[in-house]
Amino acid sequence: MVSLKTPIKTAIPGPTGFPILGLVFAFTSSLTHRTLAELSKAFNAKPLMAFSVGFTRFIISSHPETAKEILSSSAFADRPVKESAYELLFHRAMGFAPYGDYWRNLRRISATHLFSPKRVSGFGVFREKIGLKMVDQVSSSMQHEGIVELVSEGYELLGIFNWSDHFPVVSWFDFQGVRKRCRDLVSKVNVFVDKIIVEHREKRSENTREEAEVSDGDFVDVLLDLESENKFNDADMIAVLWEMIF
């Protein structure tokens, strides 16, 4: 007689939290990462720790090698559905787009035309020369055009613990005002980034074809060149450029 043993599946360790709410109060602090690190030690769960917040299941790692393995796997390519990211990044930017053809297309464009070794090395000397000038220009632009307020508001909204992400019933009411703030910010971003695109279009129309061929242009010009090929519309370009500003 052969004895067949069914392997026992061991649950990932972690705190149970409160009924329905789960571990929600760990996210009400500005030092959530420290709270979670301490919990992983307490439950001997540094490689992997599991818990729930509302209807959302979390699995985190406080171990570098395990985290690296997770981040390198396409199985974990999709970002969590987060209301503020969905609203602020125009439902389509690369950072929170679902893994698929659209995401791969944006990644290819960025890797080829923005972060390619040739382009990075080719502008090395140029970056060195204008470094201080760039800092001055950014500082002046932030004061006069309000970029800093837009970006700061965006980061705050992306980082805030939004109850609507984890409790569907709460999302109907937008108690924290996250959705309203996101939409107010998006309307301002639309105006600001659209102005950049319009300025580039006007500059390109003024240049001769020979001048355009000599100059590589910047990333906005790259997107405009790829507009027809990749069926990019203005909303797509605004989303990508806003994400690059972040």
The 10s digit of each residue's pLDDT in 17-56 is: 899 899 998 888 788 899 999 999 999 999 999 999 998 8
Q: Which one, of 158, 187, 166, 163, lies nearest residue 176 by Cα?
A: 163
* Confidence band, pLDDT 50/70/90 cuts, at residue 116: confident
Give the least confident one: 113-122, 171-180, 223-232. 223-232
Domain locations along the chain: 10-64, 84-245
What was the pLDDT predicted at 241? 86
pLDDT per position as a tens digit, 190-226: 998 998 888 888 888 877 555 544 455 678 888 888 7
d(CA 217, CA 82): 34
Q: Compute φ and ψ for 245, nearest 5 degrees.
A: -60, -40
What was the pLDDT predicted at 170? 86
pTM: 0.57
Q: Amino acid identity of 182?
A: C
* Region of residue 83 (left: phi > 0; alpha: psi -120 to 50; beta: else): alpha
Most confident of 55-64, 96-105, 119-128: 55-64
What was the pLDDT predicted at 143? 66
Mean pLDDT of 84-102: 80
